[in-house]
């Protein structure tokens, strides 16, 4: 019922072009809209559902009509007649090469993609969040009556069976707090417990990444292991994630890179300081609103809007920040 009501309200708002008014407001304020996208694929995944290629094409049509698409390097240039927008992607999945590159090439659109250097070419396995998604998709399908142990707490899967989406977020947030190796150990133990063997998704290799770069894709680092940067305690580990990943990309691409996209958008002042010392000029976060902030030492922080798989009108209203604006007025 709530969903039906929401759909009806969104349809009415879309019909009266609320998105146009919100877009004009952003333009008047000189704000740049930065979109954060992940997988573009026909695959289905309950917890990390890719945006389908047809929906992506609809998104691009909307963007072409209403925005000037710019590259991250152009954020300090003067705005033109249309509001400005950046297309930014994370993770390095192969479906970027197969499903996004042909589209952005066709329309000559600049974009940004941030890769996890240990996972390029599937070198060292899979991103940890993929393990979690795999496990929770199994819970949705098989409904095991079992216990999930984390931090000394036993979570009864039977109890959370009808609220798995919320339970997933609870577990994800608890995993954010762990150090990287502990998080991997916990996830691997869960996969073993449920006798699950994860099939890694294909990631782009360096040849494909270099080909994308020839067509206006500016690459950045999404760290070495998709590490939660705010959970790192050791200087050496932070160096590996920020400095080594940057050097690895530069070695394989033969050019300097200046963009860091902290995994899961998790970033704090300490991370920003380390990023600046490592030579990054742009840090791309994820937030409720799209905004740009000039940091110390000439670094720029861009907050990106995370796009998810959803109906076209909802996606457009999200780009214009209707959902986050409404959230402000939701009774607690």
Binding site for Zn ion (CB under 5 A): 90-91, 263
Shortest Å, Cβ 265 to Zn ion = 9
Judged by beta carbon, residue 115 or residue 317, the one nearer Zn ion is: 115
Q: Which is nearer to Zn ion, 85 or 286 (CB)?
A: 286
Q: Which is nearer to Zn ion, 86 or 317 (CB)?
A: 86
Q: Which residue has the tokens 């949705």?
A: 140
Q: Which helix (H) or strand (E) holds 274?
A: helix 269-277
Tokens of 25: 């407001």
Q: How far is the CB of 87 from Zn ion (least distance, A)?
A: 16
CB of 96 to Zn ion, least distance (A): 12
**Least CB distance from residue 306 to Zn ion, whole Å?**
10
**Residue with smaller CB distance to Zn ion, 272 or 284:** 284
Burial tier of 176 (Cβ tally within 10 Å: 0-12, 13-18, 19+)? middle
**Angle at alpha carbon of residue 279, lines to 274 and 284, rounded to 5°:** 70
Q: How far is the CB of 125 from Zn ion (least distance, A)?
A: 15
**Closest residue by beta carbon to Zn ion:** 90
The least CB distance from residue 33 to Zn ion, in Å, is 20
Residue with Cβ nearer Zn ion (101 or 203): 203
Chain centre distance of CA 180: 19
Residue 105 near residue 121 (C-beta atoms within 8 A): no
Q: Are strands 84-91 and 33-37 parallel, antiparallel or unpaired?
A: parallel
- DSSP tag of 232: -
Q: Which is nearer to Zn ion, 176 or 194 (CB)?
A: 176
User: What DSSP string runs through 70-129?
Assistant: --GGGTTSPP-SSPEEEEEEEE-BHHIIIIIHHHHHHTT--EEEEE-TTTGGGTT---HH
What is the sign, positive or negative, of the torsion defined by CA atoms of 40, 42, 43, 44?
positive
């Amino acid at each position: 019922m709530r969903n039906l009501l929401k759909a009806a309200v969104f349809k009415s708002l879309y019909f009266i072009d609320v998105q146009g008014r919100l877009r004009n407001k952003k333009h008047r304020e000189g704000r740049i809209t930065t979109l954060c996208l992940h997988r573009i694929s026909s695959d289905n995944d309950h917890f990390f559902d890719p945006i389908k290629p047809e929906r992506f094409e609809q998104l691009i049509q909307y963007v072409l009509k209403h925005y000037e698409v710019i590259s991250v390097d152009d954020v300090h240039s003067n705005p033109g007649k249309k509001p400005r927008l950046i297309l930014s992607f994370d993770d390095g999945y192969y479906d970027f090469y197969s499903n996004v590159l042909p589209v952005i090439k066709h329309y000559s659109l600049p974009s940004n993609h941030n890769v996890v250097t240990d996972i390029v070419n599937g070198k060292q396995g899979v991103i940890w969040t993929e393990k979690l998604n795999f496990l929770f998709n199994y819970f949705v399908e098989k409904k095991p009556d079992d216990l999930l142990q984390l931090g000394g707490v036993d979570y009864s899967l039977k109890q959370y069976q009808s609220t798995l989406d919320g339970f997933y977020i609870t577990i994800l947030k608890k995993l954010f707090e762990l150090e990287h190796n502990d998080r991997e150990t916990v996830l691997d133990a869960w996969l073993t417990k449920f006798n699950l063997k994860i099939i890694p998704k294909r990631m782009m290799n360096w040849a494909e990444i270099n080909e994308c770069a020839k067509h206006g894709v500016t690459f950045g680092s999404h760290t070495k292991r998709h590490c939660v940067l705010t959970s790192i305690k050791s200087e050496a580990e932070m160096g590996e994630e920020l400095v080594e990943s940057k050097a690895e990309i530069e070695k394989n691409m033969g050019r300097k890179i200046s963009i860091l996209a902290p995994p899961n958008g998790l970033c704090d002042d300490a991370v920003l300081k380390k990023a600046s010392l490592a030579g990054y000029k742009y840090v791309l976060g994820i937030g409720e609103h799209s905004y740009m902030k000039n940091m110390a030492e000439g670094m720029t922080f861009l907050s990106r809007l995370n796009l998810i798989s959803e109906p076209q009108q909802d996606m457009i209203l999200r780009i214009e920040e209707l959902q986050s604006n409404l959230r402000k007025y939701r009774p607690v």
